[in-house]
């Protein structure tokens, strides 16, 4: 956000909201870009063949007892969270998946 403020020539003393600066510079939130790249990679992984190493690694489960405390958040957990906004079953159709998983930057 500091870079965007420098581009716009705004300091923290000007008390402008980050959302307003993002709209003026026409940049999407970083969280959305990370979500896009995660879903794009998920599409690649799901279209791989069944015996591919990448797909095997994404679908494998840990064996044994887990540690105490809250379980660590895995990559697939993040994909499932992102998938609440998107239908994850559309991965096979590339054109549809591209339209669903990617959002254009604001004009």
Q: Is the pLDDT of residue 47 over 80?
A: yes
pTM of the model: 0.73
pLDDT, position 69 = 93
Q: What angle do CA 80, 69, 79 make, to 5 degrees?
A: 10
How many angstroms separate the CA atoms of 32 and 52, rounded?
Answer: 29
Encode pLDDT of 51-103 as tens digits. Answer: 999 888 888 887 888 889 998 888 888 998 988 877 888 888 888 888 877 87
pLDDT, position 107 = 66
Nearest to 4 by CA among 20, 15, 32, 13: 20
């Amino acid at each position: 956000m500091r870079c965007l403020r420098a581009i716009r020539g705004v300091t923290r003393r000007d008390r402008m909201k980050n959302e307003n600066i993002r709209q003026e510079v026409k940049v999407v939130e970083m969280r959305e870009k990370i979500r896009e790249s995660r879903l794009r990679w998920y599409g690649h992984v799901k279209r791989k063949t069944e015996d591919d190493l990448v797909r095997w690694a994404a679908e494998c489960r840990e064996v044994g007892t887990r540690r105490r405390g809250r379980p660590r958040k895995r990559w697939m957990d993040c994909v499932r969270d992102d998938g609440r906004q998107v239908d994850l079953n559309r991965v096979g159709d590339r054109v549809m998946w591209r339209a669903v998983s990617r959002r254009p930057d604001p004009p």
